[in-house]
Amino acid sequence: MDVFGFLNLNELALGLSNLSMFPYFDMAHYIISVMSLREQPGALEVSQRSPFACWFSSMLYCFGGAVLSALMMADAPVAPLSNTTNLLLASLMWYLVFYCPLDAVYSLGSVLPVRLVLTAMKEVTRTWKVLGGVTQAGRKYKDGLFVMIAVGWAKGAGGGLLSNFEQLVRGVWKPETNELLKMSYPTKVTLLGSVLFSLQQCSFLPIQTHQLIFIYTLFIVTNKTRMMLLGSSSYPFSSVESLLYKTLFVRPLTFSPLTDLTPSCNKPNGSASNKPDQTNPKDAEDTKKTD
């Protein structure tokens, strides 16, 4: 893009695209993911009652996207856990967040400046996860746009999409919290990124990969920081989303059909049958005489 050349941002974008996620960014991702699990209702009780269930839930939070994308690509779901170094690092972060003496790690991570930094680093890893899922699907299904979108979305937001299964591990069953029924902000922003990267990989978006990485990463980091500082959960494109929903998916108002079209003579409880007997007294007397 000419804007990148004019602002001398190409080198910065290239440097960001070559940034290694291991170990610091991955560590931040694991810490924030496990802290999010700990803040779920009943998670602390589960950690005391069944440490293994707590650990398994934490690994779903940390590697849920990789597991879900592997299932979609017909790969072994345990393949993401084959990296022993990452698994041990995530397990260490789980232990420190839940069981560190004096609760030092969780208390330190809950300090706003520290949590802002860790969350921003986690958002950076989201870009690489989405791009990794899109390119992985693109290698296997060339020009399979919708497959690329689905796999990139799953890899970037798999922890949320698997939330019902993760809750089941902890003994909780809340089907109404399904992410497909009511998407959270991470799920929405990940879907947006997956669409953008898929369009770029299929040459529908005239922009280079490292430039899109820079734009998308800058957007999600600054927006997440804004949301945390202001205590807001508003989505930047919520107005556009609401407009599209009202335009495309809301049924038009219709008049209710007439509910009383059946003749009264055919109704078992019609007005004619409910009227009191108005027989002429003289006729009744004649009837008695006849009987």
Q: How many domains does the chain have?
A: 1
Contact 210, 16 (CB under 8 A): yes
User: What confidence score (pLDDT) does residue 197 get?
Assistant: 98
Parent domain of 141: 9-235
Contact 156, 194 (CB under 8 A): yes
User: What confidence score (pLDDT) does residue 291 get?
Assistant: 44
User: What confidence score (pLDDT) does residue 6 get?
Assistant: 64
Residue 104 lies in a domain: yes
Residue 280 lies in a domain: no
Residue 244 lies in a domain: no
Contacts 24+ apart (CB under 8 A), 232-235: 233/185, 235/185, 235/188, 235/189
User: What confidence score (pLDDT) does residue 255 get?
Assistant: 52
Q: Could you give the C-alpha distances from 256 to 101, 246, 253, 264, in angstroms and in order?
A: 65, 21, 9, 21
Q: Record the pTM.
A: 0.84
C-alpha span between 3 and 188 (Å, rounded): 27
User: What confidence score (pLDDT) does residue 146 get?
Assistant: 97
User: What confidence score (pLDDT) does residue 257 get?
Assistant: 55
Residue 47 lies in a domain: yes
Before 23, cis peptide (omega within 30)? yes
Taking only the tens place, the pLDDT of each residue in 99-148 is 999 999 999 999 999 999 999 999 999 999 999 999 999 999 988 999 99
Residue 264 lies in a domain: no
Residue 245 lies in a domain: no
C-alpha span between 236 and 255 (Å, rounded): 36
User: What confidence score (pLDDT) does residue 234 get?
Assistant: 77
Residue 262 lies in a domain: no
Give backbone dihedrals phi and psi of 17, rounded to 5 degrees, phi first.
-70, -25
Residues of the chain with pLDDT under 50: 259-261, 264-265, 267, 270-279, 281-282, 284-291
User: What confidence score (pLDDT) does residue 41 get?
Assistant: 92
Residue 24 lies in a domain: yes
